[in-house]
Amino acid sequence: MIPYLARMLDITMKNNPIPCDWKRAIVVPIYNGVDRSIFGNDRRVSLTSVVCEQKEHIITGQLRHVWEMSGWLYDSHHGFRPGYSCESQVVTVCQDIAYSMDEGVRRDTIIMDVSNVFDLVRHVRLITKMAATVVDLREVAWVKEFLLGRSQRVRVEGRIYEEVRASSGCCKAAY
C-alpha cells in the first residue's frame, strides 16, 4: 500500500489538484472533563484525511529543516519543534528572570495568551511568508493548493452543522 500512497502524494506535489476531500474538515470538541455547558471547556480537533495528514507531516518536517538551517528559527522559538515544549519555554523564562535578579538587572516582562493564535493565521499571508523564505516553491504551491478553498463542519453529539469556508487557521478550526 505504501508505494501507492507515495505515488499519490507525489502526484499532488507536481501541482496537480489536491482531492476535494483533503480540503474538508470535521471539527469535533473533545471535552476536558470539566463542565460541558461552559463554552471553551474543550479542545477542538479537526478531523481530516489521514493520507493528507501524512503529507502535511512530511512538508512540516522539510520546512522546519530548511528554516532551522537558514537561521529563521531561534532557540527562543519553542512551538512545534522537536525537543521544545511549553515546559521548556517556562524553564527558559524562569532562567532569564533568575539571571536578571542575580545580576541586579531590571527586566520588564509581557505575557500573552496565544493558545488560539493559529486560528487567526490568514492563509494568504502564510503563503506569502513561506514564498519569501528559501523553501522549495513546489512546497509553497502545495500548501497554497491545500489551504485555499478549505471548508469545515462542526459535529457535536452526532449532529453535523453547515459547512463554512475556512480562510484562516492552520492547526485547528474554531467554531
pLDDT, tens digit, 9 for 90 and up, residues 88-124? 888 888 898 899 999 998 888 777 666 566 667 777 8
Does residue 167 contact residue 119 with C-beta atoms inside 8 Å? Answer: no
Higher-confidence position of 123 and 16: 123
By the 8 A CB rule, do 34 and 41 touch? yes
Written as nine digits, the cell of 173 is 478550526
Encode pLDDT of 135-159 as tens digits.
788 888 888 888 888 888 989 888 9
How is the chain split into domains, by residue range?
2-69+114-165
pTM over 0.85, yes/no = no
pLDDT digits (tens, 9 = 90+) for 25-36: 898 888 877 777
Enumerate residues 6+ apart whose C-beta is below 8 A from 78. Answer: 84, 85, 86, 88, 89, 92
